[in-house]
Amino acid sequence: MTRSDGASTPDDHIIVLFGALGDLSTRKLLPGLFHLDRAGLMPANYRIIGTSRKGGTAKDFIAVARKAVGSAAGDTWEHFASHLEFSAFSAEEPGPLVDAVATAEKELGGTPRRLHYLSIPPNAFGATVGALGSSGLADHARVVLEKPFGVDLESAIELNKLVHGVFEEHRVFRIDHFLGREAIQNLIALRFANGMFEPIWNKDHIDHVQIDVPETLAVDDRAGFYEETGAYRDMVVTHLFHVLGFVAMEPPTALDGRSIVEETGKVFRSVKTISPNCVIRGQYAGYREGKGVDPDSQTETFIAMRAEIDNWRWSGVPFFLRTGKAMGESRRLLTIAFREPPRRMFKDAGAFVEDYGPDHISFDFGDPGKITTSFLAKVPGPKMRLGQATMEFTYEESFGTQGLEPYERLMYDAMLGDRTLFTDSEGIERLWAASAELLADPPPLHRYARESYGPQKMHELIAPRRWWLPET
């Protein structure tokens, strides 16, 4: 059903949250589902069934959900709470969940869809997916998988083979919350809905692209997980490369899942093999003293790298990616830097040209997000003197709203079966294949101070260009 504002209402659903009492569920999933309900974007009839390896009861689940929603609960809490249920589940004994789903479906009537959200550790994926298949819970169901999608090409192929043994690819939703951000989606609108941008979105006009995601948070209690992954596996393959796919893709034939996945897939197939010589790895001071960390750990908490796309549009244009923990600020920034035109005419006229670097467009993926265009203009006065000027668009000032939160948008799309903002198995495997040389022979680590922007070695990687963060 389509609402008056053009939004579709999902079919009736049984939503099963695996790991319902865990961190992701309490921080993002339960508040997100509540906000969708309050916005009128949940199905007319639905049930949310929580499960947890820790055990629990319906009363526990409702209490956790109430705390997760917090002060936003208001008068609509009771309505949302009436849709919450809880069931025991283990891969060895899925019977209780089978019964709970059957009961909920009988109460709702008709043939509600099933959506399984696996907010569980990667090492539990196999047994859980297998149990969904053997118990019949996967019948007519979709499944949402949280990252990481493997740790290398071999494990990604194995994981995809396991999942495809139970779910066809069109029923699998590999979630990347970066792609749920309004600014990422606005990138598509800016490129393809405006005649001034798409003609210059290529190697003839763009000098380089930067995707920068520094984080102030340290690893802390995630050391056990992080020691096995590191910044490259945790952030680059699962987030930054997918942003790159949206930046670099060709115009899709339609704004639907199939068309978008086809075009981003072409980008991933064109990514050159990542050379260890084009990568700077770092580790913040004090990381090795953390609980659960190997005293001689070689796990990177920072990575800066140069990637290239070997196709007609982007050949020769470097894509610089950078992310790290315990850094000077938390940002999510995409910068498109344009080629500099000849400026000899200004020098001949005696003008003073400051070295501001190339003109650029920056997409800030923060909340609510903004787009900033930087360019050179004449400084008022008797002489021709250039200075940097900016124009800025923000969602809040222009539209008075920041739209849905990333997880809200992606859960809503999963209920609709819209895979536009999700990744597919072929794309994931291609990115791991491009990473094989780096993973087999990673470059040495460089130490960096907490609250800095990474090791100084990173400046050699991008020279003679410069990083846009910190902003100067």
Average pLDDT of the residues in 262-268:
95
For this structure, is 79 an active site residue?
A: no
* Tens digit of each residue's pLDDT (9 = 90 or more) over 201-222: 999 999 999 999 999 999 987 7
Instruction: Report whether the peptide linkage leading into residue 464 is cis, meaning its omega lies within 30 degrees of zero.
Output: yes
> How much is the pLDDT for 440?
96
Residue 370 has pLDDT above 90, yes or no: no
Count of residues making up the chain = 472
Task: Tell me how far apart the alpha carbons of residues 245 and 225 are, in angstroms, rounded to a whole number.
Answer: 27
Helix (H) or strand (E) holding 364: strand 360-364
Helix (H) or strand (E) holding 426: helix 425-440
Contact 300, 230 (CB under 8 A): yes
* Tens digit of each residue's pLDDT (9 = 90 or more) over 20-69: 998 899 999 999 999 999 999 999 999 999 998 878 889 999 999 999 99
Task: Tell me how far apart the alpha carbons of residues 171 and 146 are, in angstroms, rounded to a whole number.
Answer: 14
Binding residues: 53, 147, 177, 215, 234, 325
Task: Tell me how far apart the alpha carbons of residues 420 and 414 are, in angstroms, rounded to a whole number.
Answer: 10
> Which domains, from first to last, does the chain contain?
13-146 (3.40.50.720), 179-462 (3.30.360.10)
Contact 259, 265 (CB under 8 A): no
Residue 356 has pLDDT above 70, yes or no: no
Tell me which of 239, 242, 446, 459 is the catalytic residue. Answer: 239
* Tens digit of each residue's pLDDT (9 = 90 or more) over 96-154: 999 999 999 999 999 999 999 999 887 788 899 999 999 999 999 999 998 878 889 99
Task: Tell me how far apart the alpha carbons of residues 236 and 322 are, in angstroms, rounded to a whole number.
Answer: 8
For residue 49, list its beta bridge partners: 16, 85
Task: Tell me how far apart the alpha carbons of residues 182 and 367 are, in angstroms, rounded to a whole number.
Answer: 9
Which tokens hold the place of 23?
A: 């961190």
* Tens digit of each residue's pLDDT (9 = 90 or more) over 158-203: 999 999 999 999 999 999 888 888 878 888 888 999 989 999 999 9
Query: Quick one: which of 326, 320, 298, 318 has its CA closest to 455?
Result: 326
Order of strands, edge to edge, in the sheet holding 141-145?
Answer: 84-86, 46-51, 13-18, 113-118, 141-145, 172-174
Q: What's the burial of 385, exposed, middle or buried (CB within 10 Å: 0-12/13-18/19+)? A: middle
Contact 100, 15 (CB under 8 A): no
SS3 content of the chain, % helix, strand, coil (to 5): 40, 20, 40
pTM above 0.85, yes or no: yes
Q: Which long-range contacts (CB under 8 A, 24 or more apart) does 244-249 make?
A: 244/209, 244/211, 244/271, 244/307, 244/319, 244/321, 245/427, 246/179, 246/184, 246/187, 246/188, 247/187, 247/209, 247/211, 247/319, 247/334, 247/336, 248/209, 248/309, 248/313, 248/314, 248/319
Residue 368 has pLDDT above 90, yes or no: no
Task: Tell me how far apart the alpha carbons of residues 56 and 65 are, in angstroms, rounded to a whole number.
Answer: 13
Task: Tell me how far apart the alpha carbons of residues 326 and 307 are, in angstroms, rounded to a whole number.
Answer: 24
What are the distances in angstroms from CA 336 to CA 98, 185, 361, 414? 50, 16, 5, 30
* Tens digit of each residue's pLDDT (9 = 90 or more) over 288-321: 998 889 999 999 999 999 999 999 999 999 999 9
* Tens digit of each residue's pLDDT (9 = 90 or more) over 417-444: 999 999 899 999 999 999 999 999 999 9
What are the distances in angstroms from CA 443 to CA 276, 282, 467? 6, 10, 21
> How much is the pLDDT for 156?
93
Task: Tell me how far apart the alpha carbons of residues 350 and 357 are, in angstroms, rounded to a whole number.
Answer: 20
> How much is the pLDDT for 42?
96
Contact 97, 89 (CB under 8 A): yes
Task: Tell me how far apart the alpha carbons of residues 17 and 58 are, in angstroms, rounded to a whole number.
Answer: 13
> How much is the pLDDT for 121?
81
